[in-house]
Structure 1
């Protein structure tokens, strides 16, 4: 029975390097050599990151790292190194972003394993190269209504970015191109209403996505067709959450319903945002989120969250409870100003 490539989420990935037994902090590790009963032993130690002061160091680690496995269960080395390189180059990495990239690469891996394609062999004939073959397979899936054009575009985009990294790191070399680059110009409007053309890079692997918006639709397009929950549906959601007897989940859902904020925004609200004195005549509270506020938003865009006073006071009361204090005490990472994240997902 053939197995498919897949993703497993590592709760904690600590980067280490090999060393001798005499090095301080060295740990003995034993691994089994695939296909045999033999074990190989070696010493390793965590890689440290220097902080502001020479005597302070942090361990190089990531929570919930998406590890990609081949169909035979072994790690896909190149893909995992690619994701790790993107994580290391990002000061504020988002787990969901890299999980999405990993999912796209797993879909590609399953395709090349099924078709017995070597992703690093680039034949002279253009349409036999892995990138073009994969593009055609995605188009067939779109035509068969198995995936949406948006999903197909995202998947081929992730594969192109992966191959760009492989070429940049000289992991693969070939006289034959994986795609043809071309320049495109988009007409955009700036903050002042002025129009200008912006040059962007494109390739001949682009998958067409004709727009056909329905002016009478009650849905919005945001990674899929979304619609607001009806009042009865909102009540059903809150009743289901109430049965869990989890006050944190209830407050998160109330924030989502009454502000319309994304999960990444809600989970980065701080205790300090609720430890403020409000005027008696104030019925709603407005919080600025986005760039410069320490509250995450999509593309770091600045937005304003409007909270009803009663919800702000409920969360304020919660922040002073012993339950909340214990949860915050488990959060070991502090910001530069000593504040802690409220509803942190770590």
Structure 2
């Protein structure tokens, strides 16, 4: 199957006044087909975007979206430049139908479908601009739309954007949309997940899942935790049984967070002590001996001594692979985790925090607590969890009232 690999790249010949010039690129994502051959055209596109100043994290995500497209092309035994006269048979049109079907059956979120198609169109648009692909007919029809934007000061202005006939609108299905489009799991399922992870998965994955369920940290932050982060932890005298970890670009040492938010997360003392024990364990120290100097302070390292953090060159998709194996092992144990994703650990923690905070009866306080503990950049994200908890409670009450009314009617009805 096609995959993304990270390479260290430097220009071979770029001479100016007899001096080699050019920037050495570390961790440049590149696409490789299942037979080992590089997808040269797509790789040139990725390099051009890196040279244009695109952030490394954004480039990595775009490469993963194109990787999904490349895997589909291989599964369908198609060529990436298959564009016959009939529109319905063209590779991009077929991929678009595939994505729409995945959205309908619920295998892919609406936002994921939109982003995958958008990035693939961007790739092919660049290929046409650079004359690396040519067809006898246009691949799609472009149209210009006017978008109205309101500034923070209430000023309105319109800008023109170009879209294609193959673009997919982000139509969100009805229902709740928490972070990442996932829903929390029950306390019972959480216990089962952790038990399966402890029994079958590497101990690192068990600790990562525990951190997600009981601290609410995102996977990117968990994978980037440092030993110094644990060393600098602060115990809270007002909140017995918990410690505070400071993460973000303003922390010492720095730990990756989404949107660069710096703040403190709470960790149960039992989990914190288990992390401290793991840091000094022979299992981790063996991995530290294989790690590069920059990664030796990482709490979690792979068996090859590499960081699980996405920003590390050659990190691959290790956590995704471990999660796939966990679902398979859980199925053997009779537990269905087919639809379980790591980000649901964060959603589970957030809803439990929201439930506890709402017991105070002050909604504004609840929003503030969720925002602080989850390190949300915007209160609107925190408000989703508050509304989710409130609506779930109301639905449960309505369901109970309906059940009681139905049972009373059944009891009172005359027997035939």
Which category describes the TM-score, using the shorter chain as reference length?
0.5 to 0.7
TM-score under structure 1 normalisation? 0.62
Name the one with the larger strand percent.
1
Match of 1:332 among 288, 292, 304: 292
Distance of aligned partners of 1:276 and 1:204 in 2 relative to their CA distance in 1, 3 Å threshold: closer
Query: What is the distance in 2 between the residues matched to 1:48 and 1:244?
Result: 50
Distance of aligned partners of 1:109 and 1:80 in 2 relative to their CA distance in 1, 3 Å threshold: farther
> Quick check: 1:161 aligned with 2:122?
yes
Paired position in structure 1 for 2:414: none
**What secondary structure, in the 3-state scheme, does the structure 2 residue paired with 1:182 have?**
strand
**What secondary structure, in the 3-state scheme, does the structure 2 residue paired with 1:185 have?**
strand
Paired position in structure 1 for 2:41: 78
Paired position in structure 1 for 2:168: 207
**What secondary structure, in the 3-state scheme, does the structure 2 residue paired with 1:266 have?**
helix
Q: Higher RCO, 1 or 2 (CA under 8 Å, sep at least 6)?
A: 2
- After superposition, what is the alpha-carbon deviation per residue over 1:185-222, rounded to whole angstroms, capped at 9, x for unaligned? 265786x9x686685734033323434423xx5x6362
Query: What is the distance in 2 between the residues matched to 1:198 and 1:306?
Result: 44
Match of 2:273 among 300, 303, 313: 313
**Offset, 1:285:** 3.2
Unpaired runs of 5+ residues, structure 1, are: 1-5, 20-46, 51-57
Choose 323-332 or 281-290, whichever is displaced more.
Answer: 281-290
Choose 129-138 or 242-251, whichever is displaced more.
Answer: 129-138
**Offset, 1:107:** 3.1
Query: What is the distance in 2 between the residues matched to 1:260 and 1:177?
Result: 47
TM-score under structure 2 normalisation? 0.53
Name the one with the larger helix percent.
2
**Is the 8 Å Cα contact of residues 68 and 80 (structure 1) preserved in structure 2?**
no
**What secondary structure, in the 3-state scheme, does the structure 1 residue paired with 2:197 have?**
helix
**Offset, 1:171:** 2.7
Paired position in structure 2 for 1:40: none
**Is the 8 Å Cα contact of residues 68 and 102 (structure 1) preserved in structure 2?**
no
Number of corresponding residues:
288
**What secondary structure, in the 3-state scheme, does the structure 1 residue paired with 2:33 have?**
strand
Match of 2:68 among 71, 84, 103: 103
**Offset, 1:108:** 5.4
- After superposition, what is the alpha-carbon deviation per residue over 1:303-344, rounded to whole angstroms, capped at 9, x for unaligned? 642222332233234323444333223221518xxx733322
Paired position in structure 2 for 1:237: 193
Query: What is the distance in 2 between the residues matched to 1:129 and 1:195?
Result: 46
**Is the 8 Å Cα contact of residues 105 and 155 (structure 1) preserved in structure 2?**
no
Match of 2:2 among 3, 7, 15: 7
Query: What is the distance in 1 between the residues matched to 2:143 and 2:94?
Result: 17
**Offset, 1:257:** 0.8
**What secondary structure, in the 3-state scheme, does the structure 1 residue paired with 2:188 have?**
helix
> Quick check: 1:180 aligned with 2:142?
yes
Unpaired runs of 5+ residues, structure 2, are: 14-19, 301-306, 309-314, 316-416
